[in-house]
Every structure is written in C-alpha cells, then in structure tokens.
Amino acid sequence: MNNNKKPILLIVDDTAENISILSNILNDDYEIRAAINGKKALEIANASTKPDLILLDIMMPDLDGFEVCQRLKQNPETNKIPVIFVTAKGETANEEKGFAIGAVDYITKPISPPIVKARVLTHIALYQQKQTLEIMVNEKTQELQNANQKLQQLDTAKSNFLSLISHEMRIPLTGLKLLEFIDLSMLDSKQKELLELSQKAVSRLNRFADIAQLITFLSVQSDELNLEQLNIESLIKTITTNFKDTTQTKTLDFSLDIQNDQLFADIKLLQTALMLIIENSIKYSKGDVKISVKSFIEHEFAVIIIEDNGPGFPKAALDQMFDLFSCKDIDHHSEGLGLGLATVKLISEGHDGMVKVENIKTGGARVKLFFPVKVG
C-alpha cells in the first residue's frame, strides 16, 4: 500500500495532450505519474512504490491498453491495482472486452472533469479499503496460526508429560508389586491393614499409568485404531460378568437390552470405555447397584446407553465432565483425577463418534456413546 499522503495515479496515453488534461484535473488530490506507451506503463507499475490506480488508454501503438491490462492482471505484483480504461464514446465492444480482462470501470472521451474525479475517488477508496481489509485478515490469520501453534505445543507437551509420568511410575511400581508375596501369617492386624492400603495405592497408580498412556496414544495416534466387526452383546456380557466376579462390597444387578449386536470398533478401546463408565457407576452408587445397558441404531449411529441408580453427576461435574485435569468436583471423576470420562470422550472421538452425559430426572446418571455404523 502507498504510504504517501496523496494516492498515486498512473496515467497511460500515447498522446501528451490527453495526459495533460487528466493531470490538470487530478493533480490537486493525487500524485501523478505518466507513461506514453505500454512498456513504460508496465515498468512504472512494477516499481517498488506502485500506483494506487491506473488510467489506461486503449488505442496505443505496440502494446495497446488491452495487452497492458492483461499483463498487469497476470502479474501477482500488479494484479490488484484497479485499472480504468479511457476510451472514445460508443465503443461498446471495447468496454465488454475491458471488463472481461479485469478493468474496474470506463471513462469516455471527451473527458468530463466531475465524472473523472468521482470515478477515480470511488475506485481509489475501494482499493484502499480492500488493502486495509487484506492487512487485517492477514494479521488475524497470523494471530490464529500463532495461537493454534501454541495450542499444538501445549497439547504435545501434555501428551509428552503423560507419557513420561506413565513410564517413570511403572519402574517403582514394578518393585512395589513384590508386596503381593509378603507372608500374611507373619503380620499383625495393623500391618495387614497398612499392607492392604499400600496394595490399593499401587493398584490405583498402575491404573493411572495405564490411562495416562492411553490418553497419550489417543491424542497423537488416533488414526491407528484397529477397527474390526465385534459383537456388542458378547462384549458387554463379558464386561458385566467380570465386574460381578471382582466386586465384593456391593451387589450388582445388570440389565441388557441389545437391539443391534454388530459394530465396527477397536475392541480394546471400546471395552476400556465401557469399563470406565461402569466402574464410575459402581464407585459412586451407594448400596445395591443397578445398571442397564442398551444398544440400538439411530440415524446411522450405533448408540450404547448406560444408566445407573446412583446419585447422578453434580452440576459442577457436568460442566467440565470431559476436561482433562478438571479442577471442579475432582472427587467425582474416575480415579479422582478427572481422567476417566475424558478418556471415554477421546475413545469415542477416535472412532468419529461422540459421548453425552446427563442426569436422569428420577435419579441416577446416563451416559450415551455414539459410534458411526459405517467405517470411514
């Protein structure tokens, strides 16, 4: 953009008298440059300080106005400069051709000073507004690119952090697993209680390391899922049976309503998602636990709904249910770290699906998983 006080006009005409007439009309408001042929006009247009508008005669020897305009529009350095053709009255065919190759307007001879001033002023203003908008768009685009780059860096740092702590935690945890081989007959009741607490802590840390590693994988390699056709009912029955066998402190009652039994998914990831949801239901339900699992097709999605009879999700938890490292209502999140349902979200999104959570009006919580029926 020309930063001079006056916009720059380039007047191109092979007749000096015509250049003089236009210059006298416009020189109070614009810095005038002139060329008496097409070759010179192209040189001036390509200079470091470019004109803000070109008044271009059509009928010139060697390079006529049409050829000059075409070359200007073919050059990325000059193709945005507005061109107004100056032509004899009644040359309709020339006007059509001029607009077709990129001219913004026409001025007919004999020259009318008010018309010339008005049209030049209009197109100069439009050109400068366009340049200003382009600068603003470029600045905003750069700001967005910088912000996106920072977000990507933060996301990479988060994934690297989770991967690092997952790896570093497993080394001491491997040694702590030796607690399983302690002879309980040699311990008194207090020592047994402390051992049990230690084993639970080791189990939780192992689970955290597993989830951290899974989140890292889903964040950077979600396009490498092992998709296969699986039987939903069989998978859910296996999961619920395992929970019944391993949950000793609560009575579990599962009800299944499976209307579609086939789904393309990564079986390990889907199993993890279902286990995290059911585990969350068991953990926060008081007394006997009732969990229903439904599956059906809805709008080209395989839908899996898990409902429980627990206390439901507190409002604070619903607001940030899927945020990693959420600070609100941390105790209600799986493993007390806000990672469980966030992991479920990453798993569903890795399948181009989604997850929704809500409270049931009559009590309990509802989690809906959506997976596309068709792969890809």
CB 196 within 8 A of CB 268: no
pLDDT value, residue 174: 64
Does 314 sit behind a cis peptide bond, omega within 30 degrees of 0 on the bond before it?
no
* Interatomic CA distance for residues 6 and 35, integer angstroms: 19
- Residue 116 CA to chain centroid, in angstroms? 48
Q: Residue-wise pLDDT tens for the chain (376 aa)?
A: 555 579 999 999 999 999 999 999 999 999 999 999 999 999 999 999 999 999 999 989 889 999 999 999 999 999 999 999 998 766 667 788 889 999 999 998 889 999 999 999 999 999 999 989 999 999 998 988 888 887 777 667 666 666 666 665 666 666 666 666 676 777 788 887 887 777 777 666 666 666 666 666 666 555 667 888 888 888 888 988 888 877 777 888 899 998 877 788 888 889 888 988 898 888 888 888 999 999 998 888 889 999 999 888 877 777 666 665 554 444 444 344 356 788 888 888 888 899 998 999 988 999 999 998 865 5
pLDDT value, residue 375: 55
- 354-359 and 365-372 as β-strands: parallel, antiparallel, unpaired? antiparallel
- 289-298 and 252-258 as β-strands: parallel, antiparallel, unpaired? parallel
Which of 255, 279, 264 lies closest to 343, judged by CA? Answer: 279
* Interatomic CA distance for residues 15 and 17, integer angstroms: 5
E strand map for 29-188: 31-35, 53-57, 83-88, 105-109
Q: Measure Cα distances from 369 to 60, 257, 347, 348 in Å.
A: 72, 15, 10, 7
What is the separation, in whole angstroms, between the first and last Cα of the chain? 47
> What amino acid is encoded at 80 in this protein?
K
pLDDT digits (tens, 9 = 90+) for 89-124: 666 677 888 899 999 999 988 899 999 999 999 999
pLDDT value, residue 17: 94
H or E segment to which residue 41 belongs: helix 38-45
